[in-house]
Structure 1
Amino acid sequence: MIEVGDLKKGMFIIYDGEIYRVLEASKHFMGRGSGLVRTKLKNVKTGLVREVNFQSGEKVPEAELSFRKAQYLYRDGDHYYFMTLDDYEQHALREEEIGDVRYYLIENMEVDLVFHEGVPIGIELPTTVELTVVETEPSFKGDTVSGGGKPAVLETGLKITVPYFIEAGDKIKVDTRTGEYVGRA
C-alpha cells in the first residue's frame, strides 16, 4: 500500500480492481480540514483517462510489476514489437499502451518492458536518447545573441526546440522525461 501523497507521474496503482498509470498528481490544501490529492489516472488495458480525487492520508495498492530488459524491433501498423533479451521472446504492444513514448523509440534500442502477471503493459525508457535532426530552419550569423531556440523535427516525428547552432543531420540528446534538448551527441 502506498499513501496517495507519495504518488508520482509514471507510477502504477490498482484502483477499482484495475491497473492505472498515474499521469498527474497534485496536492491541494483546504483552509480547514484535510487536504486533497487530485490525480489523472490512465487505465492500462482500455486507455481510458479519468480524474480521481483522494483524501489526504488515504492509501492505494501499488501494482506488482516486474521489469525485463528488451530490445525494440519494429513497428507494424499500430503495434510495436519488442524482444526480451533473456529468452528472445517477442511481445507486441499497441500504440495506445505506449502513448507518447513512441516519439523516442528507434530500432534496436534497449528499453525495460513492464510486466504485470506475465503480461507486458508498458515500457520504461532510458533518461536520454540520441536522435537525428531531420528538419530545422537554417541558422544565420548573429542568431546566438538573442538566446532562445528554433523548432526542429527529429527522425521519430518529435518536435522540440533546439539552439540556433543545430543543423539538419546533427545527432542530439533528448531528455525522455521532459522532451527537451540536452546537448549534442
Structure 2
Amino acid sequence: MPKIEGNEIRVGNVIEHKGRVWRVLKTEHVKPGKGGAYMQLELRDLFDGNKTNDRVRSAETLERVRLEQLPYQFLFADGDEYTFMDQDTFEQMTVTRDVIGDSAAFLTEGMQVEIEFYGETPLEVRLPETVTLTVTYAEPVVKGQTASASYKSADLENGVRVSVPPHIEEGQKVVVKTADGSYVEKVKE
C-alpha cells in the first residue's frame, strides 16, 4: 500500500491507522504555539461505522488504502439481504442492508450500482444519484396553501414517504434523490 504523510491527508482518503481502516471525514491543520504541527482528523471506521477524532503529526507516515469500485446489477431482495450480479463475470453476491443503508428502499430490479470493496469485503453500495418513481398517494391541497412555498406528503411506489410541492398529484412520476429521499422535480410527460 502507498504511504502518505500526515500533512497530505485529505477528506475522502481511506487510511489504515491503529490497526483499523478509516475514511477521513474532516481535516484541520493545527500549528500550536509550542510543539510541532499536526492534523486533527475526524474518521469513520469502514467496518463498524464508528466515528472518532484523532491527531496525526505532520511528519507521521500512514498507509493509504486503495478501494476497488466495481459495477453490479441489483437482482432481488430477500428480507435484509440483497443480491447483486457482477457485470463482467455474472457471479452473484449477497449484501446485507446495513452495508446499503437507508437508500436500500430505492433499489429496483435491474438497477446499475457501484459496490466499493476492501479486498473481498463489500463496504458500500452506491446507487444512482436520482431515481424516477410514481406517486401512489398525495395529500390533497389545502386552499390557499399554494400561495406560499409549502410542501405536502406523498407516498411513492416503493413505500417511501417524501415531501413534494402542492401541484404533484397521484399517478405522476417524480425524480427523487437516493441519498436522502428528497424531491428533485416532476417528470415531464
> Do they fold alike, i.e. is TM over 0.5?
yes
Is contact 1:91-1:120 (8 Å) kept? no
Q: Determine the structure 2 residue equivalent to 1:67.
A: 69
With over 3 angstroms needed to count, the CA separation of the structure-2 counterparts of 1:85 and 1:142, relative to structure 1, is same
**Separation in structure 2 between the aligned mates of residue 35 and residue 146 of structure 1, nearest angstrom:** 50
Query: Quick check: which has more Rg, 1 or 2?
Result: 2
**Number of aligned residue pairs:** 180
Mapping 1:74-89, distance limit 5 Å: 74-89=76-91
Q: CA RMSD in A?
A: 3.1
Instruction: Give, in angstroms, the shift of residue 5 of structure 1.
Output: 5.9
1:53 aligned onto 2:54? yes
1:41 aligned onto 2:44? yes
- TM norm structure 1: 0.77
> Sequence identity, in percent?
31
Mapping 1:1-185, distance limit 5 Å: 1=4, 6-8=10-12, 12-21=14-23, 24-25=25-26, 27=28, 37=40, 39-44=42-47, 47-55=48-56, 57=58, 60-185=62-187
Is contact 1:133-1:155 (8 Å) kept? yes
Instruction: Give, in angstroms, the shift of residue 85 of structure 1.
Output: 1.1
- TM norm structure 2: 0.75
Q: Secondary structure at the match of 1:98?
A: helix
- Kindly report structure 1 stretches of 4+ aligned residues shifted beyond 4 Å: 2-5, 26-36, 55-60
Aligned partner letter, 2:102: D
Structure 1 unaligned blocks of 5 or more? none
